[in-house]
Amino acid sequence: RTGSPLSPPDAVSQVTVRDALNQALDEELERDERVFLLGEEVAQYDGAYKISRGLWKKYGDKRVIDTPISEMGFAGIAVGAAMAGLRPVCEFMTFNFSMQAIDQVINSAAKSCYMSAGSISVPIVFRGPNGASAGVAAQHSQCFAAWYGHCPGLKVVSPWSSEDAKGLLKASIRDDNPVVMLENELLYGVPFEMSEQAQSKEFVIPIGKAKIEKPGTHVTLVAHSRPVGHCLEAAAVLSKEGVECEVINLRTIRPMDMETVEASVVKTNHLVTVEGGWPQFGVGAEICARIMEGPAFNYLDAPAVRVTGADIPMPYAKILEDNSLPQVKDIVFAVKKTLNM
């Protein structure tokens, strides 16, 4: 962090995604005594990815709780605590392990408000790294955006930048619904510019609102999480060839901000979706279907194109892993295809 207390009010500092998440947790633990954090290694070890660094020392055993390696157990405890009026933040060391607790996330958390006719709210946040990291093979590399985005009763957010991470985590903790927050391990150490406003204690990003990261006129690129950065890199490459891409950072998977996507498609007449998850029933498939069914379809000058992860369990070898995930060159190729270049 490069900002200092003497910086002018609109000063911008570099903050890593890790520090932005830590800041959000710290501020919300301080603001509301009902908030607590639980998960494997979150307390004495400062978090497997150091997201909760310093919080156990500051808030103690009742607010930052180390759990045994039993996702179904501690997710169930957290859901019960939320039903009883607390506001738990339940960390999965990776979302792949949330499959051990998926019954608690879906059947206990997501459905309770509806099944109780609104009398039981479950204000809980399930958070942790999602999607592929590096060299962790098939059982640690799934993207769960489509899995959890499929389920009514949940809100699902997927941050890219430090600003996204902080604003969405604070909004998620304050929300009265269960929220799944899908972070990316490879982004934790990446610094992004954050304004003084974004670093203030009251900064939140509304759930369900996408952000246009780069305006453009020729093609709409829609992504979430780490692929947003790939889209911006591809846009920089393509602008040298006279193609101006509009890059949309979804931020939220459910509820999805289709208004922003539709308005962009109406303007650019072309759509490419990008995600790290598998192609079948994916986030891109949903966006394409909604564009097809909605008013923006008549503005398309070419079929919408999806760029996704490969339809295989993630290989371990680095060269195979690289070829299983969308790269900048794949996005450039897809844009040229849809623009008939």
- Burial class (CB within 10 angstroms; exposed 0-12, middle 13-18, buried 19+) of 303: exposed
Quote the pLDDT of residue 5: 47
| Closest to 101 measured CA to CA, from 90, 89, 87 | 90
- Is 210:164 a contact under the CB 8 Å cutoff? no
Helix (H) / strand (E) containing 63: none
Reading phi first (left if > 0) and then psi (alpha if -120 to 50, else beta), residue 66 is in beta
Query: Tokens 């020729």 sit at which residue?
Result: 218
pLDDT tens per residue across span 103-120: 999 999 999 999 999 999
Distance CA 199, CA 236 (A): 28
| Closest to 223 measured CA to CA, from 199, 246, 193 | 246
| Closest to 272 measured CA to CA, from 232, 243, 245, 239 | 245
Reading phi first (left if > 0) and then psi (alpha if -120 to 50, else beta), residue 39 is in left
Distance CA 121, CA 79 (A): 10
- Report the C-alpha dihedral over residues 213, 19, 189, 240, rounded to 10 degrees: 20
Q: Domain limits of the chain?
A: 14-199, 211-339
CB contact burial 77-110 (16+ within 10 A = b; e otherwise): bbbebbbeebbbbbbbbbbbbbbebbebbbebbb
CATH architecture of 211-339: 3-Layer(aba) Sandwich (3.40)
Reading phi first (left if > 0) and then psi (alpha if -120 to 50, else beta), residue 60 is in left
| pTM of the full structure | 0.93
Quote the pLDDT of residue 168: 98
Handedness of CA 310, 163, 247, 214 (dihedral sign): negative
Q: Say which of 28, 40, 140, 275 is annotated catalytic.
A: 140
Does 140 qualify as catalytic in the annotation? yes
Do the domains spanning 14-199 and 211-339 agree at the CATH topology level?
A: yes
Distance CA 130, CA 281 (A): 17
Q: Which two tokens stand for residue 179?
A: 């929220």
- Burial class (CB within 10 angstroms; exposed 0-12, middle 13-18, buried 19+) of 57: exposed
Q: Which amino acid is at 8?
A: P
Percent of the chain with pLDDT over 90: 95
DSSP count for the chain of H helices, then E strands: 12, 14
| Closest to 125 measured CA to CA, from 185, 181, 51, 47 | 181
Q: List the chain residues with pLDDT less than 70.
A: 1-10
Q: Say which of 71, 183, 185, 321 is annotated catalytic.
A: 71
- Mention every residue, 6+ apart, whose C-beta is less than 8 A from residue 317: none
3-state secondary structure at position 169:
helix
Q: Regarding the domain delimited by 14-199, which CATH topology (the fold level of the hierarchy) does it fall under?
A: Rossmann fold (3.40.50)
